[in-house]
Amino acid sequence: MTQDSYNEETVARAADSGANASARFRERMAAQSAGGVVDTERVNHLASRAVKALNDIVLEEKVSYEEYNAFKAWLIRVGEDGEWPLFLDVWLEHSVEEVANEHREGSKGTIEGPYYLEDSPGVPWNGTIPMREDEPGTPFTFTGQVRAVDGSPLPGAKLELWHADDLGFYSQFAPGLPEWNLRATWTANEDGRFEIHTVRPAPYQIPTDGACGQLIEAAGWHAWRPAHMHFKVHAPGHHKLTAQLYFPGDPHNEDDIASAVKPELMLDPQPNPDGEGEITHYDFVLDPEQ
C-alpha cells in the first residue's frame, strides 16, 4: 500500500486533521478545568514578556509592513486550518516538557503532541493493538517491565500506546481508518510486565498543505519527524510518564522538526527469533509522587 493508493475520499487534509486536533483539545480542556482561577500577575508578566519579545524582533530586524501583513495573514490561516495544536506542539511543547520534568526521576519523557486520545480500548498485558486485517508494516513485538525508581515492579500499571500507521497517519485524525486503529491501553501483569503486539510505525511528515506546511516551505525547512511510538505510562501513587520511543538509524532522529528526540528514548529492535518481524525490549521507571 502506498500513499497514492488512498482515493479521493480518503485523502488526508491538513484542515481536517487540524480541526479534529482542535476539537479534541477543547473537549479535554473543558473536562479538566473546573472553574480555573486567573492569576492576573502571572498573566501580566508572561503576556508582557511575549509582546515585548515580538516587538524586539520587529525593531531589531526592521520588519516591514509587507512582512507584518504576511505574518497577520498566516496567523489567521493557522486558526482557519485548526493548526494551533500542531504548531504549538511542534515548536514549543518541548520546552514546556523540559521545564515540567526537570526534577522528575525515572525514565525520560518527551512531548505528547497533538494526536493523543483518552480512553483507548483496553487489552490484556500481552495483547495485540487494534489494527486492520491487512495492516501494512513490519510486525513488531515490544516487551518490558514497569518499575518504580526503587526497582519494585508495578503490577497493574497502565500503558497507553498510540502511533501512526505505515503511511504516517493517525486514526481519528486522518480519514478512512478504523476509530481506534493503532491505539490501545495495556495493563501490566502481576510482575509489572507487558508484551505489546503491533506494527512498526513509519517516519511521519506533519501535514504540508496547511498553515504549518506553508511556513515550512517558505522558510526552507522540512516537515519530518522520525518514526516514533507514543506512550503514557501510569500507576497509582506515581507521576505519569509521557514518552515517545524511536528507532536507531532513522534519518530524522537528528533533525526532528518537533525537537523531541532524546538518546534515552532509542529502541533496539532485532529480528524476532520466535515469530514474524521484529522484537524490542524497554523498561519504564516511574517516579513516586512526593
Cα separation, 47 vs 143, in Å, equals 45
Question: With helix as H, strand as E and coil as C, how does 244-276 read?
Answer: EEECCCCCCCCCCCCCCCCHHHECCCEECCCCC
- Residue 231 binds ligand MBD, judged by CB under 6 A: no
* Longest distance between any two alpha carbons in the chain, whole Å: 64
Pick one of 129, 258, 265, 267: the residue that binds ligand MBD (CB under 6 A).
258
Pick one of 18, 82, 109, 113: the residue that binds Fe ion (CB under 5 A).
113
- Looking at beta carbons only, is 81 or 89 nearer to ligand MBD? 89
State in angstroms the smallest separation of the CB of 249 from ligand MBD.
19
Pick one of 12, 14, 78, 90: the residue that binds ligand MBD (CB under 6 A).
90
- Looking at beta carbons only, is 189 or 198 nearer to ligand MBD? 198
Pick one of 113, 130, 192, 269: the residue that binds ligand MBD (CB under 6 A).
113
- Helix orientation angle between 84-91 and 14-32, rounded to the nearest 10 degrees: 80
Instruction: Considering only the stretches 2-10, 64-72, 82-90, 119-127, report the one whose residues sit in contact with ligand MBD under the rule CB under 6 A.
Output: 82-90
Residue 193 near which of Fe ion, ligand MBD, none (CB within 5-8 Å, type-dependent): none
- Residue 204 binds ligand MBD, judged by CB under 6 A: yes
Cα separation, 158 vs 142, in Å, equals 15
- Residue 169 binds ligand MBD, judged by CB under 6 A: no
The 10 Å Cβ neighbour count of residue 70 is 13
What's the distance, CA 213 to chain centroid?
Answer: 18
- Residue 201 binds ligand MBD, judged by CB under 6 A: no
Nine cell digits for residue 120: 483507548
Name 281's bridge partners: 143
- Residue 109 binds Fe ion, judged by CB under 5 A: no
How big is the CA angle at 99 (ends 120 and 202), to the nearest 5 degrees? 45
Q: Which residue is nearest to ligand MBD (CB)?
A: 113
Residue 89 near which of Fe ion, ligand MBD, none (CB within 5-8 Å, type-dependent): ligand MBD
Size of the site for ligand MBD (CB under 6 A): 12
The residue among 245, 201, 254 whose CA lies nearest residue 107 is 245
Q: Answer for the pair 245, 111: CB distance below 8 angstroms, yes or no.
A: no
- Residue 24 binds ligand MBD, judged by CB under 6 A: no
Per CB under 5 A, residues contacting Fe ion are 113
Per CB under 6 A, residues contacting ligand MBD are 86, 89-90, 111, 113-115, 204, 206, 225, 258, 260
